[in-house]
Structure 1
């Protein structure tokens, strides 16, 4: 019999379970990171598109978050507009300081001749307190604040500091050679109450993947494939309307 993903045969036997956990998103004291944009390149033709995770009834409007988990585990998908949301929180007596960010390419490829632009509908927009640009072409990282008090400051020496009980987020945009496919890692160095810690997003064994963009406005007007939740199939230039699928 099966119970919540577990399987048992007979009586008084050991129970075996298959549990699929979340991806290896980094979590350390005060800092969490995840990809935010719901547009991906599949390194293959449309007829070979994989089946996305099952979407529970009533959760159609939030399934893009599940797709972030799914895509980050696949070796044949790359984020087209690579942006990582970094959420920062402090405890009642904590002081958090983020003072260094490194985006490190491990491998770089030419895009395959056949590829497919796929899109997850119903993705939420971003309204971060800080915009951070990580440029792999010159190893430069700059930070700007949403209020316009400062713009394009090099990090380091610039840093983001949160005092006791504060919360804030930052969008980290990847800048690389346009059109190339990348595998790499993102690391954030932070101090919590003066003690340094590093959160690493991606590794040699499980890198994060993205499509290079040079910082100019990305053209997102081309044909895309979107998953039809009701029909359970990929459709070209499909624009579902919430509640009418």
Structure 2
């Protein structure tokens, strides 16, 4: 099967969990040839030497200038961050919900980003239909390639009943590409939001070869009715250097809920933290907060 490579050109933003390198500029050395007297002996004056950063110019006689062209500074970078969280599943009753960080009143309609670390780092909380944002950045001389995206499952259990947490009211944003990892088929596919481009990774890859940035949304498709613990691994090549960026470890796994089950219907009762009352409330109205 032939390799399919997509060149992407757009704008994006920086996120955590990043990989990249930034080589510094090269420097140059100036040295002077030793001066000699009429009898052929070296002069007592020491030979000057200097480092040149920038223009390769030198003033004086009998100087030898070795000048190297500075290397362009690399902007090649790939980063991962939780994206578009709307609801989460807590494997307990409403009165057992753990206390979250409070959030500013102007974030009442959407505070999942404020809770990102709390949601992903608290035992018993699993994201519904999780989405991870992938951002590529490149300078004019960089080549950034996404070779593959994989999901490793550490643990799977039946979901059972629980409590739904909601922290976003309204739609999320679409990134440039959608990448879906099917854990049952062990297959990864992508498609563009603004074109008919699709592919299977591998052999297809996503690359950015011009100055700018691009983004993609990583989703997970798993058999429904289960709670999962695992990790998302993105294999990248930045300027011919391979690397793997990961969200989720054995010590702090990435947790997700794979779909609808009895007692965990996202269309059923939901709970959110009231920033003024500082308690969990059922069917929270974010527009009631002033």
Structural RMSD (CA): 2.1
1:81 corresponds to which residue? Answer: 129
1:118 and 1:62 map into 2 onto residues whose CA distance is: 12
CA distance in 2 between partners of 1:31 and 1:166 (Å) = 12
Structure 2 portions without partners, runs of 5+: 1-15, 21-76
Q: Please identify the structure whose Cα radius of gyration is greater.
A: 2
C-alpha contact (below 8 Å) 1:44/1:112 kept by paired residues = no
Closer/same/farther in 2, CA of residues 208 and 238 from structure 1, 3 Å limit = same
Count of paired positions: 215
Aligned counterpart, 1:34: 81
Aligned to 1:150: 197
TM-score by length of 2: 0.69
What is the CA-CA distance between 1:206 and the residue it aligns to? 0.8
For the Cα contact (< 8 Å) 1:174–1:213, is it kept in 2?
no
TM-score (norm 1): 0.81
The correspondence of residues 48-197 of structure 1 with structure 2, limited to 5 A, is: 48-56=96-104, 58-60=106-108, 63-113=111-161, 115-122=162-169, 125-151=172-198, 153-197=199-243
Q: CA deviation at 1:223?
A: 1.2
SS in 2 for 1:199: strand
| Structure 1 residue 189, shift from structure 2 partner | 0.5
Contact 1:64 1:123 in 2 (8 A): no
Aligned residue for 1:183, secondary structure, equals strand
Residues 70 and 124 (structure 1 numbering): CA distance in 2 closer, same or farther, change over 3 Å? Answer: farther
Tell which deviates more after alignment, 119-128 or 192-201: 119-128
The 8 Å contact of residues 175 and 212 in structure 1, kept in 2 or not, is answered as yes
In structure 1, C-alpha distance between the alignment counterparts of 2:185 and 2:120, rounded to whole Å: 25
Write the distance in 1 (CA, Å) between the matches of 2:80 and 2:268: 29
